[in-house]
Structures are given as structure tokens and as C-alpha cells.
Structure 1
């Protein structure tokens, strides 16, 4: 007995909605893992991001390999470009896990970027802090013109929030960001749905 077409479409959509909800919940909870005292002033992606990036890379490369080995007439160059994009996104998650580690100190921050480039600055150099809800990060504009971004997915966000609230004047922090930093300092992390 086969399912009607509309029921099959509804079942598939429901599966992806539930799978996405469980994945996002897993990612959000992984930010709150217990950490060693020596790591409390460090911000880094949880291991779940490494797992997601690695699994995604293997999956998307596998899909492209399968369609190369067993070609299909309906597959076009756009198909491969789409999966190359997904592979690059997955590799970005891996690079961010490896290189995107930040240190928070009384004097300022040391930011690591996925490219491996580092940026250090003092709290007195901060010109403005905003929270970009759609991207899920705090955007720190510096007097030098550089911009640093701190993801809300990072473990150690309460230490970051505490240092910002203690060292950056409230006039330089936008109201939404100030509210989220105050909550993060108390342990209530921003949602990851945007």
C-alpha cells in the first residue's frame, strides 16, 4: 500500500522539522557542558559543531561522489555547485571549531577567526557592541575600524558577558545587546533560532 503524494510530502516535511528541532536543541544544550576552571575565560565552539561540520562534509562529498559514480540525466552543474556550497559551509564549521577560539581577559580579548587570523584588542578600544539576532552573534566595532564577532553558540559566553558589562560603558552597547549580555552574565544564554 502506497501513501498518497500529499501525505508523503507532509510526512517528509514533518520529519525534517522534527529532525531540525532535535538538532538545534542538541546544539543549544551542548553550549552548557561542564568546563574545567582553566577554560572558563575561553570561548569556543562546543564539540557538537565539530561533529556537525565533519558529518556534513562527509555527507555532501559522499552525495557528489555517488552522483559522479552513478550519473543521472537530471543532474546538472547547478546540483554540484549546490553541494559544493554545502561542503564549504560544513568545512567552515570545522575551521571555526579549530581556529575560532577566543580568550577573555580583564584587559580585553583575543579573537580567533576561522581563517586562523587573530585579533587582539583592549576594552577601551571598543566603539560599539550590537547583537545581530538573525546571525546570532555580538558584533564588536573597534576604533581601528576592525569588527569582531562573538557567536552566541560559544561555550563561555557568561565570562564574555561579565567582562563586557564591567569594562565597556553602557552607552557603547545597544539596548538589545545590553539586555542579552546581562542575561548571559547570569547564565541565560541567547536562543539559537535567531
Structure 2
């Protein structure tokens, strides 16, 4: 059995619309500003905000993971793929700041699985079934148990 974990279409829409909005504001600011220093500074600020939205777009296309009973084939935000066998996982933790689960193997390779991905309950069930319990800290274990029955970790404050 193979399960695909992927971001929802909402991730792409929010990222793309946010980037487009801020790049549009930068263009308008630059084209209609009266004072050159203020115009350039404002346009740069809006451009930076637009760039900050692009990782959401990259996540939609690259951060897809394929799960099986033996391993996780994971994608990284800016490309590149890797495979990690469940038996090789030496540490699982949840990053409350980034809202993702971090799996680390003996070679210190890390796979990051966002709490917003579709298919998260199956991921949680596989981790609980195949990863040694001593590799999972207590807080993460509780989050995985909750996720396995459909209760996702809190993503927003």
C-alpha cells in the first residue's frame, strides 16, 4: 500500500496570490511614487514580502511524500528527493515553530513532514507502527496519536 502526502490546493493559491499581490504593490509603488528614495524603499519592501510567499508555492510542487510500510520517499521544499526506511529512523520530533514533524535517520538526514499535508493520519499510523518508540519524544508521540485518528496539530496560534 502506498499513500501520497501532499499540500492542498489552498497552499498554492495562498502562496501565488500573496506573491502576485505584493509584487503588484511593488510595481504600483515604484511607478507612482513622488519621492525617489521613498519609492525605491517601499517597492523593495513589497518585493521582499512577495518573495516571502514563494516558499508556499515551492512547497506545493516539491514537498510531496510517498509512504509505504517500509519507508518514506520524501521531497524537499526546493527540490531534491530522499528515501528513509522506517527502521533507520533514530529520532522523530515536532517543531512547534515550523509546524512540521522532523524525522532523522542514523546518517543525520532529515525529512520534514508538514502538519498541513493531506494524508497526515496515515503518516502518523505508519510512524507509530514502524518507528521504535524510544525514537519518538513524549510530546511528539501524543501529537502522532492524535493525528492518527484525524486530530491535526494546531497550526495557527
1:160 aligns with 2:123: yes
Please report how far the alpha carbon of residue 44 of structure 1 lies from its aligned counterpart in structure 2 after TM superposition. 0.7
* 1:174 equivalenced with 2:122 (yes/no): no
Aligned partner of 1:71 in structure 2 is: 33
Structure 1 segments (4+ residues) deviating >4 Å: none
- Could you tell me which runs of 5 or more consecutive residues in structure 1 were left unpaired when the two chains were aligned: 1-37
Match of 1:129 in 2: 92
| Equivalent residues, number | 156
Give me the TM-score of the superposition, normalised by structure 1.
0.75
Radius of gyration: which is bigger?
1
Give the corresponding residue for 2:3.
41
Partner residue of 1:110 out of 53, 68, 73? 73
* Alignment partner, residue 47 of structure 2: 84
Supply the distance in 2 between the matched residues of 1:109 and 1:143 (Cα, whole angstroms).
15
In structure 2, the CA distance between the partners of 1:75 and 1:176, relative to structure 1 (3 Å rule), is: same
* DSSP 3-state at the match of 2:104: strand
Matches within 5 A, 1:133-144: 133-144=96-107
2:111 maps to 148
- Residue 183, structure 1, aligned to residue 155, structure 2: no
- What RMSD in Å do the two structures reach over aligned CA positions? 1.7
Partner SS state of residue 53, structure 2? helix
Matched residue SS, 1:58: helix
Structure with a larger share of its residues in strand? 2
- Counterpart secondary structure, 1:75: helix
Change (3 A) 1:68 1:82: closer
Q: Secondary structure at the match of 1:159?
A: helix
Q: Is the 8 A contact 2:29 2:39 kept in 1?
A: no
Which residue number in structure 2 is paired with residue 51 of structure 1? 13
The superposition leaves residues 117-145 of structure 1 with CA deviations (integer Å, 9 ceiling, x where unpaired) of: 10111011111001111211111111111
